[in-house]
Amino acid sequence: MAARNEFKAKAAIERLHTEGLGTNAGEVIWLKLDLASPRQTKEAAEYILSREQRLDILVNNAANVDKYTQTSDGLSENMTINHLSPFLFTNTLLPLMTTTSRLPDSDVRIVNVSSVTHKYPKNPRFDTIEALNTSFKDSPQVLYGYGKLANILFSKQLQQRLDAEGVPIIVISIHPGAFITDGAHTVIGRWPMSGAILFIFGLLFTPVERSGYNSAFAAASPEVRARAAEYKGAYLMPVGKISEPSADARNPQLALDLWATSEKQVAALGL
């Protein structure tokens, strides 16, 4: 379980133990992963490579919804957490996942958690490092949607590359649904009349206990492997429904631009 905060991660692992890991379960281990730091992200991936002989499932589930801020490298923190570091983390782990995918009876998948907010940015560009670090004039929702659009474009381009190389990995992007998570409580708690808003949202939104259903379907449902041609590069709405994302999310040039610019930004950091 990758997380930047050891206390919160170990508390979550303890909850899993309390609720039960099921029969024939393994163990859940905390992996220090601070997506605001691409360097530490690379170290975390290399830690896995040094200790594991196979990797079957990777779920990238990052969400920074705050207004525009910069990392210590002067990059958009939102874009670094939501896209750039997951891009680096995934590509660093890809050789191990590729090797695993060629083992007998393997079923390797990469799931990138996106959002319906990917539709918010208008006329998005990913063709320069400057574009990748756009602030969107302090509009957190559009800024967040920009990173979530990147998740879908990255998924589709990665799937295309894997298919071209004959690697049988399935890459899926998803919208998890609308939930009032702990993080959402924190953000909404800053708003005026937050108590009333949280009460109303609690009535309207799906219970948070179901927030992982679509991720779990994409990562582990036998149906996905049985219908691999349909699910490869797909975008799923809850639960397991293949859906059409925005026109920008289906734009192959945007996907190519994003990949090239992401590689350029990673290289500029010496990674």
Give the pLDDT of residue 14.
Answer: 95
Give the pLDDT of residue 25.
Answer: 81
Which DSSP string do the residues of 16-56 spell out, in sequence order? HHHH---TT------EE--TT-HHHHHHHHHHHHHH-S---
Domains of the chain, start order:
1-32 (no CATH), 35-176+211-269 (3.40.50.720)
Compute the distance between CA of residue 120 and CA of residue 24 in angstroms, rounded to an integer. 44
Band of the pLDDT at 203, cuts 50, 70, 90?
low
* C-alpha torsion sign, points 118, 123, 125, 130: negative
Tell which residue, 67, 37, 57, has the closest CA to residue 216: 57
pLDDT tens, 99-137? 999 999 999 999 999 999 999 999 999 999 999 999 998
How high does pLDDT run on average in the chain? Answer: 93
Active site residues: 114, 144, 148
DSSP state of 207: P
Compute the distance between CA of residue 132 and CA of residue 157 in angstroms, rounded to an integer. 17
Tell which residue, 139, 155, 164, has the closest CA to residue 254: 155
Are the C-beta atoms of residues 80 and 71 closer than 8 Å to each other? Answer: yes
Are the C-beta atoms of residues 249 and 219 closer than 8 Å to each other? Answer: no
Compute the distance between CA of residue 60 and CA of residue 114 in angstroms, rounded to an integer. 9
pLDDT tens, 130-145? 999 999 987 999 999 9
Tell which residue, 178, 172, 179, has the closest CA to residue 236: 172
Instruction: Check whether 187 has a pLDDT greater than 90.
Output: no
Tell which residue, 118, 114, 117, 113, has the closest CA to residue 59: 113
Which two three-digit tokens encode residue 259?
């990949």
Instruction: Please list the alpha-helical segments (H only) found in the chain.
Output: 6-19, 38-51, 77-79, 85-101, 129-132, 140-164, 182-188, 194-204, 213-220, 222-226, 228-231, 252-268
210 vs 59, more confident: 59
**∠ CA(186), CA(120), CA(163), 5° rounding?**
100
Element holding 57 (H helix, E strand): strand 57-60
